[in-house]
Every structure is written in structure tokens, then in C-alpha cells.
Structure 1
Amino acid sequence: MQKPCTPDIKCWRLTYFCQKRNLNWLVILSRNSQVKMESRQYQLVVLGSGGVGKSALVIRLVTDNFLEDYDPTIEDSYRKQVVIDQRQALLDILDTAGQEEYTTMQDEWMREGKGFLLVYSVTSQSTFDDIKKFKDKILRAKDMNRVPMVLVGNKCDLDRNRQVSLAAGKALAAEWGCPFMETSAKERIRNEECFFEVVREIRKQDAAKRPAPKSNGTKKKDEKKGGGFCSIL
């Protein structure tokens, strides 16, 4: 049974609708809520050598399952709706092939992507060396000096087999001026966070591109406390 209710929060342009489910009330507040409703889509591309765990990271994020067996990817696309820093985001993730024979396709992926996850395995020095080539390819493909990217050292749960130190990853990220983190799709270590960090980098770039608002020499009146509107479902 549906019935109106009165929220405790004072709202401007108050519109609300209540629905009781299992004795709990689901509340969505547009300005007073911690979540800002936004339908922005983010095109993320996951790059790296074959076997570093790119698909495992993506599938863990999207389905919360761990991909045990290695099956070389050519091109797989996934979507997931998430909330990042209290803002809705639709992740459009492209999981790519790392093999050299797909170089032409890689160039196309790089041109289309807005943000990049550059993944190597901490158990393989060669994949760490290769990741530098991927970064250079991205900059050439997009004809830019800087793009939103995050450097990811995957398989950090296999520490006994480590070939790339944490310090080496940090140093390379500092050289590139991008975030860095070690992850494990198997153990759910920073698996979600690495994708979220790419979105944050895209948002930073977008904010930097926006022109500064013109000042007319007058100050705007402060908004009244409790402004906005709310909807209660």
C-alpha cells in the first residue's frame, strides 16, 4: 500500500513518494542525499600483455566471480553501473588482447578510450617492461601528451613469485604522473578501486578543461539551507 510521508529533512521544491517494503523505507534525496544522480558514461580500456589478469580484473568487477582459467581475449566489452564518490557512473569497459598480432586493433581501442588501465603482473618482469610500450602507443594514438590512466600491478597475492617490486611500480607511476596500485582479482584486493581511480582521473581532466566562470564583480546570495528537492521511494 502506498502512502505519503513527511521527511525529517526540510526540502525546497519538495516532491516525494513513499513505498513501504519489508517495513523499511528506501530514501533517495537529490540534493540532501550522499548520491548525486548522474548518467555519465565512461569508456575505459584495459591494456597489458597476455596473461597478466586483465580479464580476471574485469570479470571480478562486473560479476564478482574469479576467472580461474586463462583464455586469451581478443575483444570483450562489459558494462556496469556504479557509484564513485557519491556520483553515478556507467562504466563501459573494453577488455583487450595483449598479443602482438592484434597491434592494429590495439590502436583503434586506444583512439576510442577515454581512460586506461595499464596492467602488468608483479610475477613477470617482461610484462612490466611491455607496459611502457603500451603507454607510448596510447599517447601516439591519441596525439596527446597526457591521458587519464592508472598503472596496475596485478597478482600481488603471489608475492613468493614476485619479479617486480612495489617500489618499481611506484617509481614508474611517479615518472608518468599517474596513480598506481597493486591488485589481486583472486583475493579482491583493490580490484574495484583501480577502475574507480581511472574514472576519477577522467573527471579531473574534464574539470581542468572547463572554462573558469566569469566574475561580474558581485557575489551570489547564499542558497538557503535545506535547498533542493527530494524524492522518497
Structure 2
Amino acid sequence: MAGEASHKKKGKLSRQESNRSEKDSDIETDRPPVGVSNNQNKSRPGIRVYKIVVLGDGGVGKSAVTLQFVSHSFLDYHDPTIEDSYQQQAVIDGEPALLDILDTAGQVEFTAMRDQYMRCGEGFMICYSVTDRHSFQEASEYKKLIQKVRASEDTPIVLVGNKFDLHLQRKVSTEEGKSLARQFGCPFYETSACLRTYVDDAFHTLVREIRAKERESTGPPDNERKLRRHSKWWRLRSIFALVFKRKRQTGYSSSSSEMTNE
């Protein structure tokens, strides 16, 4: 009898645990995406996806700004081979949006693909560091590249001067940044990835610029062209994900070999 009672009790507990796990999985499914990487690339139906490309010289803090926006965290050092693209859901002006962000950091070997992601992106964030005048000068070159690839389009852009918290190391003044933004005809922000200052504002403003362009566009939308660009974007993301996955695996293998030799 005791064994039977114990068996019944265990059966009851198992059913409860099963029901609980089903409920937990339902809750997990309903949870909105907060920061989604390559391996969790799932967008909810009905939410507009905004394809954003972050450009700029190495070391200006592109990855730090992106990670601060997505995960609300700051890393002193970021290995650009760890991730290459992210998703973040936000409500901007009362309207939900899913920002699909391609961080081009550390991808010098993919220059052949540069024109592809510039064609597919809907909005561009051009970053420089206020502590590095060369990166500021290179911002104009990135603008020229966008114009070259998207010559017939008024492409939404936001200019970002990062690291403004490093006052003693500043090499580019705020006025110079504003002047360059006027030349570009785009919004301008000085951000601090470390302090998370104006990071959200920069990304949200870029989404607003994309929306404004869509409202101002005349004539019926070219749905076929949009679908073609959309499919190319996801193919690019898949290629980046595959290459970076291989690089991570190679890195882990090298680390394991070194530990074994030691």
C-alpha cells in the first residue's frame, strides 16, 4: 500500500511537473524578444523590421554602442568575431519596431560583401570617435560609399561621435561634428557607450528617419524590389553567422590545443 501510494504520489508529481513545464514553455514563447543574436533570429509577425547597418573605422566603439543598445551593458574589450548582428525590439513614438542591426566591426575580410549590405540596409549609422581625428575624416568616406551604392536614393543616416565622455582625449569638437552632419543632411549625436548617453536616441532617431522617408516617398511602393532586398539581407546575415561560427570554433580549438600543450 505504501509503495502504491508512493507510486501514485510520484505519478501526480510527474503530471504536475509536466503541466508546469508546458506552462513555462508557453510563457517563454509569449515573451517578446529583447536582444536576439544570430542564433536566435526570430521576429514576431506583424512587427516592422528595420534593417540597420553600423559603419565606421575600427576602434571607434561601433560594437560597444550596439551592445549597449541591445544588452544595456558595456564591455571594455569586445572581440568583433563573437557576434556580427543583433536584434532589439523597441517602441518608438508608440509604434513597435524590431531593429535588425548589422555591426560591421572586424569584418575587413568581407569588403567584397560591403556593397551588398549597403544595398540591403534601410538606414545607416556612421560612427567616429571624438578622440580620433582620422576616424572623423573617414566618416565622409563612408558617406561617399553609401552615395555610390545608393546613388538614386535619399538614404536615412545618423552621424554618431562616440566616446564624448573622454574629455581630456578629445580631438574633434562638437561643432565639427554638427557641421559634418549638416553636410550629410542628417541628425547628429555625441554618444558615450560607457555611460549609455544618447545611445537609444541615436538608434530611435534612425528608425524615425526611415519612417519619414517612407512617408515622403511618392508613387506606389515597389514591392518586388523590397522583397528582393529583404531576402538578400537575410542571406547576408546567414553568411556572416556561418563564417563567424567557424571562426569561433577555430578559436576554441586553438585555445584547447594551447591548454593541452601547456
Aligned with residue 61 of structure 2, among 53, 58, 61: 53
Alignment of 1:53-202 (within 5 A): 53-73=61-81, 76-97=84-105, 101-202=109-210
CA contact (8 A) 1:47 1:117 kept: yes
- Flag the structure with higher strand content: 1
| Alignment RMSD (CA, Å) | 2.0
Shift of 1:106: 2.0
Supply the distance in 1 between the matched residues of 2:82 and 2:54 (Cα, whole angstroms).
Answer: 12
Which amino acid counterpart does residue 176 of structure 2 have in structure 1?
A
2:217 equivalent to 1:206: no
Deviation at 1:168, TM superposition (A): 0.3
Secondary structure of 1:66's counterpart equals coil
Amino acid aligned to 1:57: V
AA partner of residue 137 (structure 1) = L
Does the 8 Å CA contact 2:90/2:96 hold for their aligned counterparts?
A: yes
1:175-215, CA deviations, whole angstroms, 9 ceiling, x for partnerless residues?
Answer: 11100010001001001110001101001100001459xxx
Structure 1: runs of 5+ lacking an equivalent: 1-37, 213-233
Amino acid in the other structure paired with 2:128: Y
The answer as to whether partners of 2:70 and 2:86 remain within 8 angstroms in 1 is yes
Q: Output the CA distance in 2 between the equivalents of 1:137 and 1:178.
A: 16
Segments ≥4 residues shifted beyond 4 Å: 98-101
C-alpha distance in 1 between matches for 2:113 and 2:131: 27
Cα distance change on mapping 1:67 and 1:74 into 2, 3 Å: closer
Percent same amino acid among aligned pairs?
49
Per the normalisation by structure 2, the TM-score is: 0.63
1:123 alignment partner, SS class? coil
How far off is 1:99 after superposition? 6.3
Q: Structure 2: any 5+ residue segments left out of the alignment?
A: 1-45, 221-262
Which stretch of the first structure deviates more once superposed, 133-142 or 147-156? 133-142
Higher relative contact order (CA 8 A, sep 6+): 1
Mapped partners of 2:201, 2:117: distance in 1: 22
More helix by share: 2
Contact kept, 8 Å, 1:50 with 1:99, in 2: the verdict is no
CA drift at 1:149: 0.4
SS in 2 for 1:52: coil
| Number of corresponding residues | 176
Return closer, same or farther for 1:134/1:95 CA change in 2, 3 Å cut-off. same
Normalised to the residue count of structure 1, the TM-score between the two structures is 0.71
Distance 2:153 2:133 in 1: 26
